Amino acid sequence: MAILVPIAAGLVGTVVGAIVAWFAGRAQHRLETTFAMHREFHSPEMTRSRNLAGQTVRDNRSSSFEDMRVKLSPEVTQHVWNVMYFYQRLCLAIKLRDVHRSYIPEMFGENFCWWYSKSYEHQLVPLNWQAGRHIKWLMNWIERSAPADELRKWRTRAATMEDPRPTPEGMLYRWRRLRRMHLFARALANPHNGRAQLADRYWTSGSYGMSYSCAAARLRRAGLSLPMG
């Protein structure tokens, strides 16, 4: 009996150690996967796809994804699918607990709210597509998981965001353009706005209607650069 006690204690210690190591490794894997997906989302290739996909869905805002699939060339729609597939993978990663879920709203919520409001809600979700069901699930999850005040800000930004290259409309247009330039300059002065955030917020999204050359010149003066394409 005296011999069995240390043996049992050793076995328990081994099992507990293995369980602790498994949980630690699992947590590290989720963290690495989360940041890997964030890097992918802001990579030059994905940023270019988001540029082009955003323009496509706005140019075809009255069309569903099925309509776009039929009438547009594969070269054009591929960028739309790239963004959609990314969010579909994000949805599955959350469901499978393969990412650090508490980081997801802050890292992806603002951009996703724009895509859902401007495109997915009326162009994709009404279709009987598996991707649409995943996108809808992701929106429901974001609504439950994101801080309420942040969610309101994201929705307000998505609702008020203008399309790129707006048509001049007299004094109102000129006043809006000056306001956009002022906001852009303030953003450049903010040390917390890195290259990815600036490219995404002020060129990729087209939120301030600035031409690429103008935005690039302003970023160069700040020691940054916009992605090409």
Express each pLDDT in 122-167 by its tens digit.
999 999 899 999 999 999 999 999 999 999 999 998 888 754 333 3
Is residue 193 over pLDDT 50?
yes
Is residue 202 over pLDDT 80?
no
Residues 153 and 226 in one domain: no
Residues 134 and 223 in one domain: no
Residues 64 and 102 in one domain: yes
Identify which of 80, 98, 92, 81 has the alpha carbon closest to the alpha carbon of residue 141.
92
Give how far Cα 144 sits from Cα of 84, 109, 111, Å.
Answer: 21, 12, 17
Residues 137 and 207 in one domain: no
Distance in angstroms (rounded) separating the CA atoms of residues 44 and 142: 26
Give the tens place of pLDDT for each residue, 30-59: 889 999 999 999 999 999 999 999 999 999
191 lies in some domain: yes
Residues 44 and 59 in one domain: yes
221 lies in some domain: yes
Number of domains in the chain: 2
Residues 35 and 116 in one domain: yes
Q: Of 133, 161, 189, which one is at a domain's C-terminal end?
A: 161
Q: Of 146, 161, 176, which one is at a domain's C-terminal end?
A: 161
- Kindly state the tokens that stand for 131: 């991707």
Q: Which domain holds residue 186?
A: 167-229
79 lies in some domain: yes
- Kindly state the tokens that stand for 22: 């498994």
**pTM for the whole structure:** 0.62
26 lies in some domain: yes
* H/E element, 134: helix 130-145
Is residue 212 over pLDDT 90?
no
Residues 140 and 211 in one domain: no
Residues 118 and 190 in one domain: no
8 lies in some domain: no
Residues 182 and 150 in one domain: no
Residues 47 and 83 in one domain: yes
Residues 88 and 187 in one domain: no
Q: Of 124, 143, 161, which one is at a domain's C-terminal end?
A: 161
